[in-house]
Each structure stands twice: as structure tokens, then as C-alpha cells.
């Protein structure tokens, strides 16, 4: 905090240097004379026109597929109603009322009502439902809600998925032109059943975990704005409540331990406060943001175990009273050092200070036997980043950018208590008068690590990849070319290589490669065709040791995805009344995983996610106010996952799995709707 | 052929000499240096000069609308369906209130710059008029000049950190994303926002079709829910002060603080998750157990080299199949159970 204030002071001092204008062009209003401006030709009646549009119809879906209807509400086979509505009333004095409703007949419905007077006050109410369907083919022998009992009738199907319902009200008041006050209250509920697992003494069980979450969020904001200064203060409180503190399940394998119990997410509260300011100091722009946070949870702790055979005193405190304070600051100053040179300085600080009480506990392993006493785990974190950038404009069509960044991290208590990462980059962008634009950016960074201190029973040769020393280089390259007014194309490439030079065990290296191309083509005015292809490959090599010594095995992992998109849009057929849009999307994903032990390379079988979708949408304008919209959407999906293939509830020793498989389907949705402007 | 040339610029320079000529050369060069595409150098310098000199018309929009009506190739009147064209909205270019503070009330010229000689003479066929500042697909001015005109009104809370933000540094103009004359600004509408952002961020669109993804395909979650495109002074343009706080806005159940915390969860969600989409379940960077074994290597099952022999048709390993490590260690985001030190409770 003190350091952040110090940096703010330094930045402020730097900002008062007599540098050139940071805002490049400020319009000159010194000689405006509007005394004879009448605006007689202005059609102001357009601004007060009331509008309404209603769309109603039906969509028929072939098959019930959770992935197909994962987030859109089309998760049932058969007909679904289509209902969308928009109404708007706008008055001459700036008052307005807008009602927008989308997918009102589906589980993914959204509705928003906003009303007020522009520039004076506004109030908005919003309703939004988000389904998230995961699986309908999961099977479990359990029944119940917070106590899962083994059913005598054998397995039953269980739907895995959640549903969020968000309600929100916002109000805004602008008492003067320079002051704005705003308040927001939102409530979000999340219910459903989530896939989870837990074990009793190494015998794991798939648990259909019920969810009953409610999050209330209240926030307020006051903003003062003038030509040279902006000040804003925000506060917020978010209160999360979980109605289900624990989940118990009947142990299927031992009468001695009749049930297991897991703790579910604890209810918690988070308060935030922030200040923002932006000002012009000297002739530079300075912006800063300070955030304070306070997160607390005080849920009652559940007992150590369900096993009455384990005799332990309860924890010293009935609840954790966990508390974390956070602070984040961000300050940036931008100024023009000379006609062709712009300088930017930025500093960012993030602190996480855990004041959670220390509690010495005696965990019971798998509800079977007590282990040694140990304190709970709470972490402090501090990240500090300082960055300087210089932008240089050597010519009208060329921009160069040089930058350097120092990023420090401190953590406690962990094996590597600190990292310092130094990065520097060079970027060039050229835009030629013939429509050719090119850009290149190269970033080099090196992260060192403090001395390793063994705080766990991990092999001391291993380094956790997010703490380890690393060398990273990133290349980005892009070309865009407007070949003609009717054809434009672009190519881009992005390669990042990471090596962990001090790591003997753990992730040794990573590669992230992407490239893509895209085009837009308009053979005639009424037809536009756009397409793109992107390829993304994410690879890593990880070393391990079976013998608590040097590396004796490797994993080579690579996830590749190629995505193609093609959209053709034709307007104005059939006497200019028919528009047609054809869309094709394809995403082919592959996971290439291999194990290498003593030069013997063994490759895992197919891991795939192949998504293909084709859509035709035709809109026919039938008269001045009515349109008919016809849609056909077809989606083919073929997933393959060796972790799920052939796994039934009883396949894996010591694991009672859900037995669900990777989805494979073809599904069609055909829709017809009528839209009418009222 | 453009109707402007060095003589035209010199005319504005002469006017500027009486006003603020001193800054013209510096600013004109700087702006021109950032100019891209096929914009004429002369035209651009002239536009800068016009904006700096401030030679506004004598009759305002009545001058413009005499020509620019719906019969024009680029209809303009739709702006009157928006707040920019509303006479009673404080701060709007067409505000008629006496309290209006410039540039409010400057009508078309508030955004397109001073008319200058654009409408002062009848030109022969084939000769273009003196240019006005255009935006979007027909932009003829640098982002710096375009944005200077927008920010004359919109340098407000939402744009507090715009200077030197990622999009500003990339040379984006406001009108590259926003449409002013259309009653519906696609990038501010949930249904169409992703399409607008995808014009540049196609790789993110591709991520939405991967095996696991946030619900972006159906616009249940849109870019603006997590990112502040105008720059918030945060990493990855996150809407909250940190990336983790942004994630926890929706995933409040993971906020804790837990009795047993997992260090990478506290540090950065992005250590294990790819927020836009992944070829693996749960947006994971790599799948378990390989991801977990990147850190956990003590003797025992964490050090096993699991291979295809351990699949369902072979030895059917509990460490590899179904949820792999998470078959037992399910509470990887933290546990509040007194026996949850290994995230098994």
C-alpha cells in the first residue's frame, strides 16, 4: 500500500514534466458561433418514434442432446416455441422506455426493461436464465439430496447440469452534468446437480452433488467528471450463500464406516471499495485505480469424520472465521516526450493478505484413521509489475514500440517464495497507402526463482511450473491486405515457447502455436462472403520419477484444434424482399498424449472433439411490417475420450464411476417464425 | 482528384497563425504519423488543420442536410433515431438546451469536424469536396484524430483508462467497434457483441467451439462480461481489479477463504484453466492427471507414468480414468472440511 502511494507520487511528479500533448487532437471551439443554427431540416420526430417488434414461431429439434442444448435451452427433443419481443417508446423530452425480451419461451430467456430520461436518470430491470446441460447418460446407484443412499433397485439415470437465474436492478441518477450516481442490486441463483467424486479410504464414488447457491450483490458508484479531472468512488458487497453445507453418502463397501461426508462450498461475503482518478497533469494524462477487498467466511466446520470409531476432540474453533484482505492498484502515465515519441509508464500492485486464524487440526484420512496434526493452509501473495513503453513514429506509415516490464511475485509459505520476471519487447506496425498492413511483435522474458525450500513431501528435484524459473519467447506476426474494394484478406501467426531451465521434474517445456487466415469477399453489392481458419496447438513435456530420484519417464502432451468458419450473406433477392445467410462452422480438436518410459513411447488412443454445424437462415419481407424467418440448423458432433471410453460404473477398480460417454450425435433444428413491426 | 492541396492546408495554416499555429506542426505530424491505410496525406493534414483551427459552418446541420439526406449513397438520417440525434439529451451533438456545453449542440460538426470550405462552393463534376472527418469503413483520418473527436464528449468514467490501453496502443479508433448512425450499436448489444469483437479476435471465436467453453456460442456470456475493452488498468482488460476477482464474480462458491487453500488457485485461475475454451474438460490447460503431475511428484501414485495400458481395456487405472486425480482429490479449489488437507473432503 505504501509502495503504491509512493509510485503514485512518483508518477505524479513525472507527469508534471513539460512534455507535449498526450491527447493528440483537441478540437478548437474558440470561434464557434451557433446563434444562427436552427436545424430546420433535422427530422427530430425520428427520435420520438415508438417502435415495437414481436417474433413468434416454433423450432423443432430432432433429438435431446445435452451438448447441443448445453447453453441455449434447446435440450429437449420436439417442438420449442420461439418468442422474442422488443418495445421502445421515446419522448421528445428524452424520456424513454425500452423492453427487450429474447428466447422468452426457452430456458435461456432474457428480459430487460429500462426506463428513464436520458442524461437525468435511468432504471433498468433484468432477468436472465442460463442453462448448462452436461450429461443425461450418467448413472448412479444413489438416491437422495444431501444424504445419498444406495438404492436397492440398482442404477438410475441422473441428469447433470445447472441452471443460473440472474435478476438485476440498476438505477442511475445524474443530478448535474458533472456528477453521476449509480446503484445496482443483483441476485443470482444456481441450482442443479454437478458431477463430483469422493472416496472412503481409497474407494471413490461418483456423487451427484446438489447445488443451491444464492449470490446477492449490491454496489454503488459516484463519479465526478470535468474536462481535466475524473474522480470515481465505488463500493460493493457480494454475499454468497450455499444452502447445503455438506453432502453425505452411504459407503458401499464397508459397514465399519457407514458413510462419507464432504464439506461443500462455504457461504462467504466479499466487500470491495475502489477509487479511480484520471487527470491531466502538466500535459500528460495520469490514470489510477485503487481497490480494496475484504473476503470472509465463517461457516461452521463439520466434524472430522463420520466414523464413530475415530475418537478425536473437535477442532479448537467451531468455525474458521477465514478472512483475506486484498489490495490492488494500477497507475499509468502517458505523455509525449517529443513530436514523434510517446512514453508510457505503468505500475500495478496486487496483494493478498490472509488473516485467517491458525488452526491445528488432526485430519482423518478417508474417514478411516487419524493422521498427524498439522495447521490449516492459508497463503499470502504479492505481485508487483512495473512497465515502461516507448512508442516511436519514425514515419507516417510506421510505428515502433519498445517496452520493458519487471514483474515480481512473493508468496508465503511456499517452496519458491518469490519470482522476478523481466520482459522486454519490440513491436513494429506498418500501414501502407495501398491497403497493406503488417505487424510484428517479439517478446522475450526471463523469470528467476528464489532458492527452493522443501515444505512438502514432493520430490525435491521437482519444480511446480507456475513457480519455476522459466524462459519465454513470443512471436506475433500479422498481415492484412485490402486487395481491392471487394476483397480483403489477412494472415496471422502467434508462437510462444517456454522452457523451464532449472526444472528436473515437472513441466520441462511448453509450446503454444497458433496461426490463422481470413478473408472478406463481396463479388457484388448484395453478396458478402467471409471466412476464416485458425489453428491452435498447445504442447508440453512433463518429466516424472517413480523412484523419488531423477526423471525416468516423460509425458508428451499436445492439444490441437483447427477451426473453420464460413458465412455467406446475400441480400435483396426476389424483388429485394429475401435475405439469405448460410453459415458453416467446423472445429476439429485432437489430443495427442504419449508416455515415454525408457525410450519406449506409448501413445494414448483417440481424444477428439469434432464439431460441425451448418445453418441456413432466410428472411422474407412480406409487406411493410411483416417478415417470415425460416431456419435450418444441423450440428454433427463426435467426441472421443479415452478417460471415458468403456468406463461403466463397475469398470474401474475402487471407482464407482458415472459411466457416461463422450457425446456423438447428429441433430437438426428447423424453425419458422413470423416477425412483425407494430 | 481531391479538391484540396497544399494551398488548402496553407489557408488553414494562415488562419491558425492567428490562433494556435504553434501546435499545428507538432500535432499534424504526430497524427499523420499514426495515419494508416490509403488515406491521402494531404486530406489528412487538411482534416487536422480544420479541427485545430475550428472553422465551423454558419448554419450547422441545415447546411449538411441540404445534401446528405436519405437519397445519398450513405444515408445519414438514422442518427436521429439515436441519442446522438436527440435534441433533449444532455450532451448530445443535437442538444438544443441553453445549458449545452460545447461540443454538445455542435450537430454534425461535433463529430465530423468543422465544415470549413466543405459546403461553400459549387464544384465541377469529378472534383471532390474538401474532406470532412469520416469514420468506420470510410475512415479518412487517423485513429488519434477520430478518437479526439469522440473523447471530446466521452472522456468519462468508462474511458478513464483508455490512454495507452491495449486497444488504444493497437491503433483502434472508436468507430472501428462502434456504429453511431445506426439505432443499434452491434458491439453494445449482447446478441451481436461477440460478432463485432470477432472481427479481430477470431481465435477466441474458435475457442468457443472447443470441447469445453464458457457459454459464448449462444451469447449467454459475452466479451464485455469479463473484459473492459476501454482498458481498466488491469491484466487482460479484466473488468474487476484482478483476473481472479473477475472469475469469482460468477464463481463465488470458489471464493473461500478455505480452511485448506490450494496455492495456484489463490494465485491465478489461468494457471490451470484457459478461460475461452479448451480441448479438454473444464477449460483445463491439460487434462488430469498430466496437468496435476506438472507439480505433484512425491512418491506414490502421483509419480506414476500412466500409459495406455492403464485404460479401460487394460488395467483400468483409477488414476487415469473417469475424473483421474479428481476421483479422490475432488476439492482442488479448496476444502473447508477439517479432514480436507488432501482436498478429499
| Residue A241: all three cell numbers together | 450463500
Q: Name A637's bridge partners.
A: A611, A665
Distance CA A351, CA B184 (A): 41
Distance CA B120, CA B6 (A): 18
- Across A469-577, the runs of DSSP E, i.e. the strands, are 470-484, 487-499, 506-524, 527-544, 553-572
Residues A206, A140 contacting (CB under 8 angstroms):
yes
Distance CA A240, CA B249 (A): 10
Residues A664, A137 contacting (CB under 8 angstroms):
no
Look at the block and give the residue holding cell 447457491: A213
pLDDT for position B247 = 97
Distance CA A111, CA A130 (A): 12
* DSSP letters spanning A411-440: EESSSS-EEEEEEEEEEEEEE-TTSEEEEE
Instruction: For an interface test with B, give the residue of A22, A36, A42, A179 to mutate (most B CBs within 10 A).
Output: A42
Closest residue of chain A to B272, computed from CA coordinates: A466
**3-state per-residue secondary structure call for A563-614:** EEEEEEEEEEHHHHCEEEEEEEEEEEEEEEEEEEECCEEEECCCCEEEEEEE
Q: What percentage of residues in chain A have a pLDDT greater than 90? A: 79
* Residue contacts between A and B (CB atoms, under 8 Å): 552
Provide the residue count of chain A.
Answer: 678
| Model pLDDT for residues A65-119, shown as the tens digit of each residue | 999 989 999 989 999 999 999 999 999 999 999 999 999 999 999 999 999 999 9
Neighbour count for residue B246 (Cβ, 10 Å):
24
What is residue A450's DSSP assignment? P
- B289 upstream amide cis, omega within 30 of 0: yes
Look at the block and give the residue holding cell 439469405: A580
Residue A8 pLDDT grade (very low, low, confident, very high; cuts 50, 70, 90): low
Tens digit of pLDDT at every position of chain B (345 positions):
333 444 555 555 555 444 443 344 444 444 444 443 444 567 778 888 888 888 899 899 999 998 887 777 677 889 998 999 999 999 999 998 877 788 889 999 999 999 988 887 777 777 788 889 999 888 888 888 899 899 989 988 888 889 889 999 888 999 999 999 988 899 999 889 998 999 899 999 999 999 999 999 989 999 999 999 999 888 999 999 999 999 999 999 999 899 999 999 999 999 999 999 999 999 999 999 999 999 999 888 888 889 899 999 888 999 999 999 999 999 999 999 999 999 999
Cβ-nearest to A41 among B66, B102, B286: B66
Neighbour count for residue A395 (Cβ, 10 Å):
11
| Residue B242: all three cell numbers together | 484482478
Axis crossing angle, helix B21-33 with helix B6-18, rounded to the nearest 10: 140
Distance CA A188, CA B28 (A): 51
Q: Which residues contact A230 (CB under 8 A, 6 or more apart)?
A: A223, A224, A276, A277, A278, A279, B155, B156, B157, B160
Please indicate if any CB of chain A lies within 8 Å of the CB of B239.
Answer: no
Distance CA A485, CA A367 (A): 71
In A, which residues are within 8 Å of B72 by CB distance? none
The answer to whether the Cβ–Cβ distance between B209 and A563 falls below 8 Å is yes
Instruction: For an interface test with B, give the residue of A15, A24, A507, A515 to mutate (most B CBs within 10 A).
Output: A24
Look at the block and give the residue holding cell 520441462: A508
In A, which residues are within 8 Å of B52 by CB distance? 25, 27-28
| Model pLDDT for residues A538-553, shown as the tens digit of each residue | 999 999 998 888 999 9
Distance CA B44, CA B36 (A): 10
Distance CA B133, CA B135 (A): 7
Q: Which residues contact A594 (CB under 8 A, 6 or more apart)?
A: A555, A556, A557, A601, A602, A603, A604
pLDDT for position B3 = 36
First to last CA, chain B: 76
pLDDT for position B11 = 58
* DSSP letters spanning A247-302: EEEE-SS-SSS-EEEEE-PPPEEEEEEEEEEEEEETTEEEEEEEEEEEEEE-PBPP
Distance CA A521, CA B50 (A): 35
- B257 upstream amide cis, omega within 30 of 0: yes
Give how far B10 is from chain A: nearest CA, Å. 18
| Residue A44: all three cell numbers together | 427530430
| ipTM of this predicted structure | 0.93
Cβ-nearest to A597 among B82, B267, B305: B305
The closest alpha carbon to A485, from B292, B104, B38, belongs to B38
Strands A179-200 and A51-61, by their bridges, are unpaired
Provide the residue count of chain B.
Answer: 345
Q: Which residues contact B148 (CB under 8 A, 6 or more apart)?
A: A23, A24, A25, A26, A27, B51
Largest CA distance in chain A: 94
The closest alpha carbon to B78, from A51, A53, A46, belongs to A46
Q: Name B12's bridge partners.
A: none
The answer to whether the Cβ–Cβ distance between A287 and B323 falls below 8 Å is no
Residues A286, A332 contacting (CB under 8 angstroms):
yes
Neighbour count for residue A216 (Cβ, 10 Å):
16
Whether the pLDDT of residue A43 is over 80: the answer is yes
Distance CA A102, CA B54 (A): 46
The closest alpha carbon to A382, from A329, A453, A457, A312, belongs to A329
Look at the block and give the residue holding cell 463500493: A235
Sign of the Cα pseudo-torsion (A390, A392, A398, A402, in order):
negative
Distance CA B110, CA B146 (A): 11
Distance CA A291, CA A495 (A): 34
Distance CA A19, CA A207 (A): 64
The closest alpha carbon to A205, from A139, A136, A132, belongs to A139
Q: Name A509's bridge partners.
A: A499, A541
The answer to whether the Cβ–Cβ distance between B335 and A263 falls below 8 Å is yes
Look at the block and give the residue holding cell 473476503: A295
pLDDT for position A5 = 54
Give how far A338 is from chain B: nearest CA, Å. 9
How high does pLDDT run on average in chain A?
92
Classify residue B269 by burial, with Cβ atoms within 10 Å: 0-12, 13-18, 19+. buried
The closest alpha carbon to A100, from A166, A158, A151, A54, belongs to A54
| Model pLDDT for residues A223-233, shown as the tens digit of each residue | 999 888 999 99
Distance CA B230, CA A522 (A): 31
Sign of the Cα pseudo-torsion (B249, B251, B254, B256, in order):
positive
Cβ-nearest to A655 among B206, B290, B318: B318
Residue A627 main-chain phi, psi, to 5 deg: -130, 150
In B, which residues are within 8 Å of A607 by CB distance? 279
In A, which residues are within 8 Å of B304 by CB distance? 544, 546
pLDDT for position A15 = 45
| Model pLDDT for residues A252-264, shown as the tens digit of each residue | 887 788 899 999 9
Give how far B7 is from chain A: nearest CA, Å. 21
Q: What pTM, to 2 d.p., does this model score?
A: 0.92
Q: What is the mean pLDDT of residues A408-424?
A: 95
In A, which residues are within 8 Å of B326 by CB distance? 197
In B, which residues are within 8 Å of A605 by CB distance? 308, 311
In B, which residues are within 8 Å of A22 by CB distance? 163
**3-state per-residue secondary structure call for B13-69:** HHHHHHCCHHHHHHHHHHHHHCCCCCCCHHHHHHHHHHHHHCCCCCCCHHHHHCCCC
Q: What is the mean pLDDT of residues A524-538?
A: 95
Closest residue of chain B to A456, computed from CA coordinates: B298
Look at the block and give the residue holding cell 454496489: A219
Please indicate if any CB of chain A lies within 8 Å of the CB of B303.
Answer: yes
Whether the pLDDT of residue A50 is over 60: the answer is yes
| Model pLDDT for residues A245-254, shown as the tens digit of each residue | 999 999 988 7
Please indicate if any CB of chain A lies within 8 Å of the CB of B246.
Answer: no
| Model pLDDT for residues A333-357, shown as the tens digit of each residue | 998 877 788 899 999 999 999 999 9
B269 to each of A356, A448, A604, B272, B289, how far by Cα in Å? 21, 21, 28, 6, 18
pLDDT for position A16 = 44
Give how far B317 is from chain A: nearest CA, Å. 6
Amino acid at each position: 500500500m505504501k509502495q503504491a502511494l509512493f509510485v503514485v507520487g512518483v508518477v505524479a511528479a513525472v507527469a508534471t514534466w513539460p512534455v507535449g500533448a498526450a491527447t493528440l487532437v483537441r478540437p478548437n471551439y474558440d470561434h464557434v458561433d451557433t446563434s444562427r443554427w436552427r436545424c430546420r431540416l433535422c427530422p427530430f420526430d425520428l427520435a420520438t418514434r415508438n417502435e415495437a417488434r414481436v417474433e413468434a414461431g416454433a423450432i423443432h429439434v430432432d433429438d435431446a442432446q445435452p451438448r447441443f442444448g448445453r447453453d441455449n435451452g434447446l435440450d429437449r427433443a420436439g417442438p420449442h416455441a420461439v418468442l422474442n419481443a422488443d418495445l421502445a417508446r421515446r419522448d421528445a423530452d428524452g424520456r424513454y422506455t425500452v423492453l427487450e425480451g429474447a428466447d422468452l419461451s426457452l430456458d435461456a430467456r432474457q428480459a430487460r426493461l429500462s426506463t428513464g430520461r436520458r442524461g437525468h436518470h435511468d432504471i433498468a430491470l433484468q432477468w436472465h436464465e442460463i442453462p448448462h446441460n452436461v450429461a443425461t447418460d450418467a448413472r448412479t446407484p444413489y438416491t437422495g439430496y444431501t444424504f445419498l443412499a444406495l438404492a436397492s433397485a440398482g442404477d438410475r439415470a441422473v441428469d447433470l447440469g445447472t441452471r443460473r437465474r440472474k435478476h438485476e436492478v440498476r438505477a442511475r441518477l445524474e443530478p448535474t452534468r458533472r456528477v453521476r450516481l449509480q446503484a445496482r442490486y443483483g441476485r443470482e441463483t444456481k441450482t442443479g446437480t454437478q458431477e463430483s467424486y469422493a472416496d472412503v479410504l481409497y474407494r471413490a464414488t461418483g456423487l451427484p452433488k446438489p447445488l443451491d447457491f444464492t449470490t446477492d450483490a449490491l454496489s454503488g458508484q459516484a463519479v465526478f467528471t470535468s474536462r481535466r479531472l475524473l474522480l470515481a468512488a465505488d463500493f460493493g458487497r457480494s454475499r454468497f450463500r450455499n444452502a447445503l453445507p455438506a453432502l453425505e453418502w452411504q459407503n458401499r463397501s464397508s459397514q465399519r464406516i457407514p458413510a462419507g461426508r464432504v464439506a461443500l462450498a462455504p457461504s462467504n461475503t466479499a466487500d470491495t471499495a475502489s477509487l479511480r482518478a484520471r487527470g491531466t497533469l502538466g500535459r500528460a494524462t495520469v490514470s489510477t485505480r485503487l481497490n480494496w477487498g475484504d473476503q470472509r467466511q465463517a461457516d461452521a466446520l463439520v466434524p472430522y469424520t463420520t466414523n464413530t470409531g475415530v475418537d478425536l476432540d473437535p477442532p479448537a474453533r467451531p468455525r474458521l472465521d477465514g478472512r483475506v484482505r486484498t489490495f490492488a492498484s494500477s497507475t499509468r502515465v502517458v505523455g509525449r516526450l517529443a513530436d514523434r515519441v510517446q512514453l508510457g509508464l505503468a505500475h500495478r500492485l496486487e496483494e493478498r493478505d490472509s488473516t485467517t486464524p491458525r488452526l491445528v487440526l488432526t485430519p482423518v484420512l478417508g474417514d478411516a484413521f487419524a493422521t498427524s496434526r498439522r495447521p490449516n493452509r492459508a497463503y499470502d501473495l504479492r505481485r508487483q509489475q512495473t512497465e515502461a513503453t516507448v512508442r516511436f513514429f519514425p514515419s507516417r506509415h510506421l510505428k515502433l514500440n519498445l517496452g520493458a516490464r519487471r514483474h515480481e511475485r512473493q508468496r508465503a509459505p511456499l517452496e519458491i517464495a518469490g519470482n522476478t520476471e523481466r520482459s522486454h519487447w519490440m513491436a513494429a506496425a506498418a500501414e501502407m497507402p495501398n491497403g497493406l498492413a503488417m505487424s510484428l511483435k517479439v517478446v522475450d522474458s526471463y523469470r528467476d526463482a528464489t532458492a527452493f525450500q522443501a515444505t512438502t513431501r514432493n520430490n525435491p528435484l521437482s519444480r511446480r511450473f507456475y513457480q519455476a524459473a522459466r524462459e519465454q519467447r513470443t512471436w506475433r506476426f500479422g498481415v492484412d491486405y485490402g486487395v481491392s474494394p471487394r476483397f480483403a484478406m489477412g494472415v496471422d501467426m502467434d508462437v510462444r515457447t517456454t522452457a523451464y531451465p532449472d526444472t528436473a521434474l515437472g513441466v520441462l517445456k511448453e509450446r503454444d502455436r497458433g496461426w490463422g487466415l481470413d478473408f472478406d469477399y463481396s463479388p457484388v453489392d448484395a453478396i458478402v462472403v467471409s471466412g476464416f481458419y485458425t489453428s491452435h496447438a498447445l504442447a508440453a513435456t512433463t518429466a516424472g520419477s517413480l523412484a523419488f530420484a531423477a526423471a525416468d519417464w516423460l509425458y508428451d502432451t499436445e492439444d490441437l484444434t483447427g477451426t473453420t468458419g464460413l458465412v455467406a450473406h446475400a441480400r435483396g433477392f426476389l424483388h429485394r424482399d429475401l435475405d439469405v445467410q448460410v453459415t458453416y462452422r467446423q472445429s476439429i480438436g485432437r489430443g495427442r498424449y504419449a508416455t515415454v518410459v525408457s525410450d519406449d513411447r506409448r501413445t494414448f488412443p483417440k481424444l477428439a472433439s469434432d464439431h460441425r454445424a451448418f445453418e441456413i437462415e432466410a428472411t422474407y419481407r412480406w409487406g411493410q411490417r411483416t417478415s417470415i424467418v425460416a431456419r435450418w440448423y444441423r450440428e454433427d458432433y463426435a467426441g472421443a475420450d479415452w478417460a471415458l471410453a468403456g468406463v461403466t460404473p463397475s469398470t474401474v477398480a475402487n471407482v464407482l464411476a458415472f459411466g457416461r460417454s463422450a457425446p456423438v450425435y447428429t441433430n437438426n433444428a428447423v424453425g419458422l417464425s413470423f416477425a412483425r413491426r407494430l | 482528384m481531391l479538391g484540396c492541396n497544399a494551398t488548402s492546408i496553407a489557408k488553414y495554416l494562415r488562419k491558425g497563425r492567428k490562433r494556435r499555429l504553434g501546435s499545428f506542426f507538432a500535432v499534424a505530424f504526430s497524427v499523420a504519423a499514426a495515419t494508416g491505410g490509403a488515406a491521402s496525406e494531404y486530406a489528412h493534414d487538411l482534416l487536422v488543420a480544420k479541427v485545430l483551427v475550428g472553422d465551423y459552418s454558419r448554419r450547422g446541420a441545415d447546411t449538411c442536410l441540404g445534401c446528405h439526406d436519405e437519397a445519398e449513397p450513405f444515408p445519414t438520417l438514422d442518427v436521429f433515431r439515436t441519442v446522438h440525434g436527440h435534441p433533449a439529451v444532455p450532451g448530445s451533438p443535437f442538444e438544443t438546451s441553453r445549458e449545452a456545453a460545447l461540443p454538445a449542440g455542435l450537430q454534425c460538426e461535433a463529430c465530423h469536424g468543422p465544415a470549413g470550405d466543405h459546403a461553400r462552393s459549387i464544384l465541377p463534376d469529378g472534383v471532390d469536396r474538401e474532406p470532412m472527418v469520416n469514420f468506420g469503413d470510410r475512415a479518412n483520418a487517423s485513429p488519434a484524430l477520430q478518437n479526439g473527436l469522440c473523447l471530446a464528449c466521452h472522456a468519462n468514467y468508462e474511458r478513464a483508462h483508455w490512454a495507452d490501453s491495449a486497444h488504444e496502443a493497437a491503433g483502434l479508433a472508436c468507430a472501428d467497434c462502434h456504429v453511431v448512425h445506426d439505432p443499434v450499436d452491434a458491439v453494445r448489444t449482447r446478441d451481436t457483441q461477440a460478432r463485432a469483437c470477432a472481427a479481430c479476435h477470431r481465435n477466441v471465436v474458435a475457442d468457443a467451439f472447443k470441447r469445453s467453453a464458457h457459454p459464448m456460442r449462444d451469447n449467454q456470456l459475452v466479451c464485455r462480461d469479463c473484459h473492459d475493452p476501454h482498458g481498466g488498468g488491469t491484466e487482460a482488460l479484466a473488468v474487476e481489479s484482478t483476473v481472479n476477482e473477475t472469475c469469482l464474480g460468477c464463481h463465488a462458491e470458489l471464493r473461500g477463504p478455505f480452511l485448506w487453500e490450494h496455492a495456484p488457485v489463490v494465485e491465478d485461475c489461468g494457471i490451470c484453466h484457459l478461460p475461452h475454451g479448451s480441448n479438454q474438460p473444464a477449460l483445463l490447460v491439460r487434462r488430469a492427471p498430466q496437468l496435476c503431475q506438472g507439480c505433484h511428484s512425491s512418491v506414490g501414485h502421483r509419480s506414476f507414468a500412466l500409459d495406455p495400458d492403464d485404460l479401460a481395456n487394460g488395467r483400468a487405472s483409477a488414476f487415469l480414468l473417469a475424473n483421474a486425480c479428481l476421483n479422490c482429490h475432488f476439492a482442488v479449489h479448496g476444502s473447508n472440511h477439517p479432514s480436507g488437507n488432501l482436498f478429499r473432503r
